[in-house]
Amino acid sequence: MAKLNSLVKKQKKSVLNRAIDFFFKSDYHTYLVGGYVRDNAMGIEPVDLDIVLEGDAIKAARQLNRNLKGDLQIYQVFGTATITVNNERIDLATARGEQYPNSARLPHVFPATIIHDLNRRDFTINAMAMSVSHHTFGEIFDPFNGLEDIRKGLIKVLHRNSFVDDPSRLLRAFRYKNRFDFKFEEKTRQFINEAVQIKLIDRLTGKRILNEINLIFDENDPGKIVRELSMYKFYPLSTKSIRIIERLSRDGRYYFVANIDYSKLPLSRSEKAIVQHFHKLDVIMKKLSKTQTKSSIFHILNDLEEPVRKAIVILQPKFELKFKIYRRLQKIKPFINGQDLKKIGLNEGPQFKKILSRIFDQQLDGKIKTRKQALDQIRLKA
Ligand code: ATP
């Protein structure tokens, strides 16, 4: 049986390794699962730790956290817990053997619980477990030949109904394929094509779709994934849109969402604002090309969010000059504020904002050059 202890030992003494030490010394029957085992096998330093243990995961998490002193989150209903220490994350789950009646057919070294746990995972490369118990430390349990698929560079589902069981795996498949520069195994590719035809993804809640989209845009090269999603007609986009998303990289998520049916995605208010601005991009750019005064350049660009501003420069490099002006104007501090208006004797009210904005616009346009001129101007009209 393969052993990964040497790889584990090579890693620096991180929080994750302290957690592994804890379980090695404890009596818990513990396995590392998922990404940790996969990344270790690929020689990549894993970021998170996914632990399945036979026993009370919540109790174990409390004990471990006394040692790590991180932030402990308990999910009582699921029997799971998460510990976060300086951006490193440890997920602990209780394996529940009594629900799975197939134990008679299991190899005696690996209990039913871990087998079941791996059976419900997404891809062969994510369906491996490594023991961290002292008597079997480093032993890999790999019932679906995940190690071989890593060697071959394949993304492969465990069974034909995998995407039907959980359509979020479709998006996960594209994510892993691109992250590792793998290929889809032949049947898996077939299942994906079938899933696209029957629009399987629509069965997911908007929340889950959005979560997967966000994970795609957290990857190093989200544009590449979007290009492929489009190629598979998963989310067909124009070449121009793909190019913009590639250039925007992580911020491309908003442009992407603006280009698909996002009606059921639970976007936050600020995300919605960005997406809506992307919808009005042509109108905004027309306005920007007509405007000449510094104050209106400032307002048009200042009302937009950064990803939208970035997209404008990508689409129309000729706006670079207007952006330079905008960046200079951003540094300008208003000569006067509300306190000044009060001192002059004006009553506080909605007109305050109007006056301040009128004076500031004149300041941006160079019509008012000093604080004194600004105050004189107000006194004149007061
Ligand atoms: P990474 O975080 O590097 O993308 P990971 O493998 O740690 O990879 P997670 O999303 O944290 O990914 O999931 C942990 C493990 O849980 C996966 O490796 C996989 O085995 C399993 N898993 C996650 N989502 C699903 C799913 N939708 N269906 C089946 N198994 C899943």
Residues 141 and 80 in one domain: yes
Residues 319 and 342 in one domain: no
Q: Parallel, antiparallel, or unpaired: how do β-strands 129-131 and 140-141 relate?
A: antiparallel
Using DSSP's 3-state secondary structure scheme, residue 179 falls into helix
DSSP 8-state class, residue 166: -
Residues 132 and 16 in one domain: yes
Structural domain includes residue 275: no
Distance CA 382, CA 270 (A): 38
Distance CA 209, CA 168 (A): 7
- What residue's CA is closest to ligand 1, atom 8? 35
Structural domain includes residue 199: yes
pTM score: 0.82
Sign of CA dihedral 62, 64, 67, 73: negative
- pLDDT for 112 equals 60
Task: Report CA(264)–ligand 1 centroid distance (Å).
Answer: 24
Atom number in ligand 1 closest to CA 38 = 6
Structural domain includes residue 266: no
Residues 166 and 200 in one domain: yes
The CATH number of residue 224's host domain is: 1.10.3090.10
Task: Report CA(341)–ligand 1 centroid distance (Å).
Answer: 58
Residues 89 and 225 in one domain: no
Structural domain includes residue 82: yes
Distance CA 366, CA 125 (A): 63
Residues 216 and 347 in one domain: no
Residue 103 has pLDDT above 60, yes or no: no
Structural domain includes residue 348: yes
Residues 233 and 121 in one domain: no
Residues 17 and 102 in one domain: yes
Quick check: CB of 139 below 6 Å from ligand 1?
no
pLDDT tens-digit map of 2-48: 445 444 444 446 888 899 999 999 988 899 999 999 999 999 988 88
Structural domain includes residue 265: no
Residue 41 CA, chain-centre distance (Å), reads: 24
List C-alpha distances in Å: 34 to 15, 222, 274.
Answer: 18, 22, 35
- Nearest CA among 243, 227, 157, 226 for reference residue 194: 157
44: left (phi over 0), alpha (psi -120 to 50) or beta: beta
pLDDT tens-digit map of 162-178: 999 999 999 999 999 99
Quick check: CB of 89 below 6 Å from ligand 1?
no
Residues 288 and 347 in one domain: no
DSSP 8-state class, residue 122: S
Residue 279 CA, chain-centre distance (Å), reads: 22
Q: Which of 98-112, 282-296, 347-361 comes out lowest in average pLDDT? A: 98-112
The CATH number of residue 109's host domain is: 3.30.460.10
Q: Parallel, antiparallel, or unpaired: how do β-strands 88-94 and 183-184 relate?
A: unpaired
* Token pair listed for 304: 């937009």
Q: What's the burial of 39, exposed, middle or buried (CB within 10 Å: 0-12/13-18/19+)?
A: middle
- The pLDDT-based confidence of 220 (bands split at 50, 70, 90) is very high
Residues 311 and 185 in one domain: no
Structural domain includes residue 272: no
Residues 298 and 179 in one domain: no
Domain that holds residue 303: 280-330
- Neighbouring-strand partners of residue 61: none
Residues 352 and 247 in one domain: no
Number of domains in the chain: 4
- What is the arithmetic mean of pLDDT over 283-294? 93
Q: What is the mean pLDDT of the chain?
A: 89
- pLDDT for 229 equals 97
